[in-house]
């Protein structure tokens, strides 16, 4: 197979099925394998997906016995893709992503021929708001910034009950629509002033959909390393590529639709649970990234000596 899609599934059968079906409708999908990684959903949805695609030869559903996070689950899917298919391109996508362009695969190959990228990020359109979510940042977070983020999120965890109350009051006073517009504005400011119609190179690309060529996969047995449960995979990936002279790029000619956080919302529907889940995993993932940056600094220092 020339292409391998890795789709991380958790609980939401209909959403994952819509993602897989959009891949199967692509032109050239007979050259694409789809590996659905069920991250220990525990609600029989993984088995239901196995049954749905039982007679579709290029769809495999991998059932995991434990949910130990985004990186490890995708790495397991990647290992299976390499073993069975040895693809030229590996496309990792959230299960709440859909592929609307019938010639998506042709577009990926055309961009590769022009730029020879290691990792490509598509125009990721948040369907609920029309927001373009890629790129995330112009460069991965520095050690100073991640340490500041860790301190801030750790403090938020300590004040979780008060924060939840403040958020509920804010949502009530401001209203859902205005609150969403405020969030979009803050998000745009934090990302920087990107033009979604321009090509950007050596940027930090959004994790909802990432496309890897052999320029990356030939160097790594794992897509994501060091592994995190959730959060900061984009920064770790961008830092590795910068340090190894690998091109990470955003190109608007490939586009995906993003429903955003469907699985997380299903598993953590209550506000306090959701905030706790997010903050705990940001702290854990941020700690992994901070330690990775410190390791890189130590290695550079040793090499200079």
Continuous H helices in the chain? 13-24, 45-52, 70-84, 104-115, 143-158, 160-174, 176-191, 214-217, 233-243, 262-267, 271-304
Asked whether the beta carbons of 105 and 53 are under 8 A apart, the reply is no
More confident residue, 265 or 226: 226
d(CA 62, CA 75) in angstroms, rounded, equals: 12
Residue 178: the pLDDT is 67
What are the phi and psi torsion angles at 214 (to 5°)?
Answer: -65, -20
Q: Could you give phi then psi for residue 239, rounded to 5 degrees?
A: -65, -45
Residue-averaged pLDDT of the chain? 90
pLDDT at residue number 167:
75
Q: What is the mean pLDDT of residues 29-35?
A: 96
Tens digit of each residue's pLDDT (9 = 90 or more) over 247-294: 999 999 999 999 875 555 555 457 788 888 899 999 999 999 999 999
What does DSSP assign to residue 100? -
Q: Is the pLDDT of residue 186 over 70?
A: no
Check whether 189 has a pLDDT greater than 90: no
**With contact defined as beta carbons under 8 Å apart, do 38 and 59 qualify?**
no
Mean pLDDT of 175-198: 70
Instruction: Look at residue 184 in the predicted model and tell me its pLDDT.
Output: 64
Q: What pLDDT, on a 0 to 100 scale, did the predictor assign at position 176?
A: 62
What pLDDT is recorded for position 274?
A: 84
- Residue 153 in this model has a pLDDT that exceeds 90: yes
> Per-residue confidence at 34, pLDDT binned at 50, 70, 90?
very high
Per-residue pLDDT at 190 exceeds 50: yes
User: What is the distance between the alpha carbons of residues 35 and 73, in angstroms, rounded to a whole number?
Assistant: 11
Q: Looking at residue 130, what is its pLDDT?
A: 86
pLDDT-based confidence at 58, cuts 50/70/90? very high
Q: Is 117 helix (H, G, I), strand (E, B) or coil?
A: coil
Question: How high is the pLDDT of residue 268?
Answer: 47
Q: What gap in Å lies between CA 169 and CA 109, rounded to an integer?
A: 49
Inform me whether the pLDDT recorded for 91 exceeds 90.
Answer: yes
182 pLDDT more than 70: no
What percent of the chain is predicted at pLDDT more than 90? 75
Report the 10 Å Cβ neighbour count for 300: 11
Is the pLDDT reported for residue 172 higher than 80? no
Determine what percent of the chain is predicted with pLDDT higher than 70. 88
pTM beyond cutoff 0.85: yes
Asked if residues 45 and 9 have their Cβ atoms less than 8 Å apart, the reply is yes
Would you place residue 301 in the very low, low, confident or very high pLDDT band (cuts 50, 70, 90)?
Answer: confident
User: How far apart are the C-alpha atoms of 66 and 62, rounded to whole Å?
Assistant: 12
What pLDDT does 275 receive? 87
pLDDT band at 191 (very low <50, low <70, confident <90, very high): low
């Amino acid at each position: 197979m020339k292409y391998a899609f890795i789709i991380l599934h958790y609980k939401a059968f209909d959403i994952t099925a819509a993602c897989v079906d959009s891949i199967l409708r692509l032109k050239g999908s007979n050259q694409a394998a789809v590996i659905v990684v069920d991250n220990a959903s525990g609600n029989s949805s993984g088995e239901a997906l196995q049954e749905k695609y039982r007679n579709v030869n290029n769809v495999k559903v991998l059932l995991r016995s434990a949910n130990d996070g985004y990186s490890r689950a995708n790495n397991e899917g990647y290992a299976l893709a390499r073993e069975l298919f040895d693809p030229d391109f590996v496309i990792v996508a959230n299960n709440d992503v859909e592929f609307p362009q019938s010639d998506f695969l042709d577009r990926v190959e055309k961009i590769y021929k022009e730029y020879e990228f290691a990792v490509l990020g598509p125009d990721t359109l948040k369907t609920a708001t029309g927001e373009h979510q890629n790129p995330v940042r112009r460069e991965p977070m520095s050690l100073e910034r991640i340490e500041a983020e860790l301190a801030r999120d750790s403090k938020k965890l300590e004040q979780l009950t008060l924060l939840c109350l403040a958020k509920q009051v804010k949502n009530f006073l401001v209203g859902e629509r205005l609150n969403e517009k405020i969030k979009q504005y803050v998000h745009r400011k934090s990302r920087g002033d990107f033009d979604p119609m321009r090509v950007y190179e050596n940027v930090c690309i959004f994790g909802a959909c990432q496309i890897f060529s052999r320029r990356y996969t030939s160097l790594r047995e794992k897509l994501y390393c060091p592994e995190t449960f959730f959060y900061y995979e984009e920064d770790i990936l961008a830092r590795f590529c910068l340090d190894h002279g690998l091109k990470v790029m955003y190109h608007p000619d490939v586009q995906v639709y993003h429903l955003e956080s469907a699985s997380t919302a299903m598993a953590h529907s209550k506000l306090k649970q959701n905030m706790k889940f997010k903050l705990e995993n940001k702290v854990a993932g941020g700690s992994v990234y901070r330690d990775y940056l410190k390791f890189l600094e130590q290695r550079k220092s040793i090499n200079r000596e």
